[in-house]
Structure 1
Amino acid sequence: MVDVATSRHFWIGPGTDERLTPSLPSSLVFLVALWLGFAPFVLHFGVAARTGFVEPDDVLVAMLISASALVRMTVPKDLPVLSVVNAAAGVWLVATAFLFAAPGDSVRATVNDVLCGVLLLGLGAASAALTYAQRSEVRARSAGRPDRDGDRRAS
């Protein structure tokens, strides 16, 4: 067991060869999800009856994303498909900002959804890519092939 007082930072741990783990992008996805859930109330997008689809969509997507980001933060080597779901939710946010926008919708709501969607797309893709890259390195090591740095490591 690793001593917490002497262990490295949560995102760059002893088992990662000093490389980032997928927990960092997933942690940032969680923060974006928190903002997305509270933004309609902080920025006062308007009443739900007037703005239609934007407020409930933001809150529901934020709940889905925050739950999957928490799972990815706690077990970063498992379930990379949740990061792909987060990236897809980012695409959904960008699309709904334009597809379901009513004429009276706030520009703040549209800008917020587009920015959060782009962040979710990038961070979700980064988290999934880190997971798949680390899995391929583990497979390469177990097969005795050289890893990214050219070191041969057999288990």
Structure 2
Amino acid sequence: MARHIYHCPLRWSDMDAFGHVNNVVFLRYLEEARIDFMFRLRPADGSPSFSGGSVVARHEIDYLRPLVHRHEPVVVESWVTRIRSASLTIAYEVKEAEGSDLVYVRASTVVVPYDLAAGRPRRITPEEKAHLQRYLPEQPTVDEDALVG
């Protein structure tokens, strides 16, 4: 499974009165990573895929440890966990660095493609689905002969 890697700088204004990055700021980090991820998925051949809008239908965040300000960026890894006809779920880990096991946040976002001109949600196109599937975890193969007793 491929993961999208985004290096997210920390800003002094991300800190709160308790000396760590405020919980709501993590939503901004996830947004930056998600936008970078979606634009990089867009084909360079002029295809309209991923050029329309999208809306966030749901966020889920687990805060695992505090993050204090530093000069080095954090790494946000993103991948797709679910593709439906008119939505997808993106999972994230906000990490100390690339390859690090130190995770500050685990999160997921349900994203709905949106037709801005029509003012309503739209379906994921086959082309978009093909791009997104590269970021799905590999499914274990099932030995069908072993299932037949």
What TM-score comes out, normalization by structure 2 length? 0.28
What TM-score comes out, normalization by structure 1 length? 0.27
Structure (1 or 2) with the larger CA radius of gyration: 1
Which structure carries more strand by proportion? 2
Which structure carries more helix by proportion? 1
